[in-house]
A and B are shown apart, each in its own frame.
Chain A
Amino acid sequence: MSHHLVVVSDLRFAYADGTSALRGIDFTLHHGESVGLVGANGAGKSTLLLHLAGALMPAHGTVRIGDWPVTPKTLPQVRRSLGMVFQDPDDQLFMPTVEDDVAFGPENLGFPPEEIESRVVASLERVGALHLRRRTPHRLSGGEKRAVAIAGVLAMSPDVLVMDEPSSNLDPRARRRLIEQLKAFEHTKIIATHDLDLVLDVCARTIVLAEGRVAADGPTAQLLADDALLSASGLERPLRLQGCPRCAARSAAPS
């Protein structure tokens, strides 16, 4: 296996109605990297993720996952090495019970029953959701659904974890728990999100997308403090890197 895990080169894509979503994207990911994919609404994040997962095929350019270029023929291999967590867990949790859902991937990969069982237990434990295993997905809370959706992908032991807005609709504590878990995962991660504070916590590297192009690609701490870049891409500094409004008010007040 090459040490470049994900290679995207000159990727272009337009939707059927002519909307150009990706206008030449290039980047390379190495093993163990954790990358935040940020950008305004409509910048092309979701379209790019769908290409990585092989749900859309490039109109131009190539996507390589591990040793495989993403083509209709290599999809089974690509899906073994790349796991995708979708934005709405309801789209992903389609089996009758939590354990069936987590077993769905390993089942399709053809593992023997004992192996499936141990994977189900291990991945549910990993996200702290083992106690939910016999529950019905549609009765779970938002945070629980998200945890189970992540477990379902972990159970396939992918090399690359791709996540679309993992922290959306989570309460602060569930969000914090998710961040701690993401930090602990040894997988290569690509996290598309508007939650720039999460990127600051989890991802050493950030790719900023704007209008279907890579506007910047570099160390998170540097990019997310670059006001000119952020405002040109429709973003703002993460809250943590913004000045404290209380201190600002205090220092502005006449002493």
Chain B
Amino acid sequence: MGHIESSLARLGRLDEMAARDTPASRLDPRAKVAATLAFVVVVASFGRLDLGRLAPLAVFPLVLAPLGDVPWRPVLARLALASPFALGIAAFEPFLDRAPVATLGAVTLSRGELAAMVILAKFALSLCAALLLVATTGFDAVCLALAKLGAPRVVVAQLSLTYRYLFVLGEEAGRMVRAHGLRAPDAPRPTLRRAGSLLGHLLLRATTRAERIHTAMRARGFDGRLPMRRRWSFGRLDALFVGAVLLLLFAARAFDLPGLVDAALSGALR
């Protein structure tokens, strides 16, 4: 069935964008990984009703995307794909807390509704940042940067091998479903029962393949650590980038920027 293969092709698209030469892709991967990690931590650190204070943080993805020449469509499509998780969590908030916080014309906003919006905003900001990181850096470079920044080598090896064999596994699943469909012309989509047996087979194939891969790795001297050959140099531009991001994060965290702008504007108007 074609759609497994085409979803796989789409999966790799963001990653492939990183191979292009853009101002963002030229930055040291470590700088981008560190900046993104800090960004996600700061996004997560805001309280459950701090919607306004999250707003200035949107500057990070809004600046990084054009710097990396990343189109928004694929990013937003992936955001939508992952959104059920966030929606599932946010959906309950409006029912849990009905105390009103603000009135905009005829609409009264409850605390729960505001909290739900904060959850969605946090989700959108962090995931956008992560997706842009991959689209400007490439998954392998992200793994490597994580290792160089001190993440455990085993975790990094797992991450990078999982990504590599995701495609092989997906293609294998696609072939199995196609083979099933060809011999079950009236019900080309596997029933739940058959899907169980297909999945079981896939698991068995995956484990035997894992064994073969491990043998192949050992045969070339693998000792549990993936070598990291690429050398990067952390230059002035990289330092500037990290500095700018940290400054933005600090300002957003320490001051109520929208409140200050609001005060300044109303002061000017008076």
A55 at the interface (CB under 8 A from B): yes
In the complex, B216 has a CB within 8 A of chain A: yes
Query: Does B161 interact with chain A (Cβ within 8 Å)?
Result: yes
Binary interface profile of B, 152-178, with partner A (CB < 8 Å = 1, else 0)? 000000001100110110000000000
Q: Is B150 an interface residue (CB 8 A)?
A: no
| CB-contact partner of A91 in B216, B226, B229, under 8 A | B216
Range class of the A interface residue count: 20 to 34
Interface residue? A177 (CB, 8 A): no
CA distance A153 to B217 in the complex (A): 11
B207 is an interface residue with CB less than 8 A from chain A: no
Identify which of residues 132-189 in chain A touch chain B, using a CB-to-CB cut-off of 8 Å.
137-138, 152-153, 156
Please measure, in the bound complex, the distance between the C-alpha atom of A253 and the C-alpha atom of B226, giving whole angstroms: 66
Is B186 an interface position by the 8 A CB rule? no
Q: Are B161 and A104 in contact (CB under 8 A)?
A: no
Asked whether, in the complex, the Cβ of A138 is within 8 Å of the Cβ of B167, the reply is yes
**Does residue A212 face the partner (Cβ distance < 8 Å to B)?**
no
Contact of B221 among A79, A92, A95, A138 (CB under 8 A): A79
Q: Do B222 and A97 touch across chains, with their CB atoms under 8 A apart?
A: no
Binary flags per residue of B112-140, CB closer than 8 Å to A gives 1, else 0: 00000000000000000000000000011
Chain B contact residues: helix, strand, loop or mixed: helix
- Which of chain B's residues has its CB closest to A55's CB? B215
Contact A108-B227, Cβ < 8 Å, known A79-B221, A86-B212 = yes
Cα–Cα, bound, A104→B216 (Å): 11
Tell me if A's interface is mostly helix, strand, loop or mixed: helix
**Residue of B at shortest CB range from A109?**
B221
A94 to B143, CA, bound (A): 14
> Any chain B CB within 8 A of the CB of A39?
no
| Interface status of A100 (Cβ within 8 A of chain B) | yes
Asked if A152 and B168 make an inter-chain contact with CB atoms under 8 angstroms apart, the answer reads: no
Q: Are A94 and B140 in contact (CB under 8 A)?
A: no
B221:A108 contact, CB within 8 angstroms: yes
18 residue pairs of the A-B complex, CB under 8 angstroms, read A53-B215, A79-B220, A86-B216, A91-B212, A92-B216, A94-B217, A95-B226, A100-B229, A103-B227, A104-B220, A104-B221, A104-B222, A105-B220, A107-B227, A108-B220, A108-B227, A137-B164, A138-B164
Q: Which residue from A55, A86, A104 sits with its C-beta under 8 Å from B227?
A: A104
A33 at interface, CB cutoff 8 A: no
Interface positions, chain A 72-113, Cβ under 8 Å from B, are: 75-76, 79-80, 83-84, 86, 88, 90-92, 94-97, 100, 103-105, 107-109, 113
Measured in the bound complex, the distance between the Cα atoms of B140 and A113 in whole Å is 20
Chain A residues, CB < 8 A from B161 = 94
A31-72 vs B: 1/0 string, CB under 8 Å? 000000000000000000010011100000000000000000
| Closest residue on chain B to residue A97 by CB atoms | B140
Q: Which residue of A lies closest to B217 (CB)?
A: A94
Q: What residues of A have a CB within 8 angstroms of the CB of B222 in the complex?
A: 104, 108
Highest count of chain B CB atoms <10 Å: which of A53, A54, A104, A113: A104
Is there a chain B Cβ closer than 8 Å to A116's Cβ? yes
B165 / chain A contacts, CB cutoff of 8 Å: 94
Interface centre among A83, A88, A96, by most B CB within 10 Å?
A: A96
Contact of B218 with A by CB under 8 A: yes
Least CB distance, A214 to chain B, in whole angstroms? 24
Q: Which residues of A contact B212 (CB under 8 A)?
A: 86, 88, 91
| Option from B216, B223, B231 in Cβ contact (under 8 Å) with A94 | B216
Q: In the bound complex, what is the Cα–Cα distance between A153 and B220 (angstroms)?
A: 8
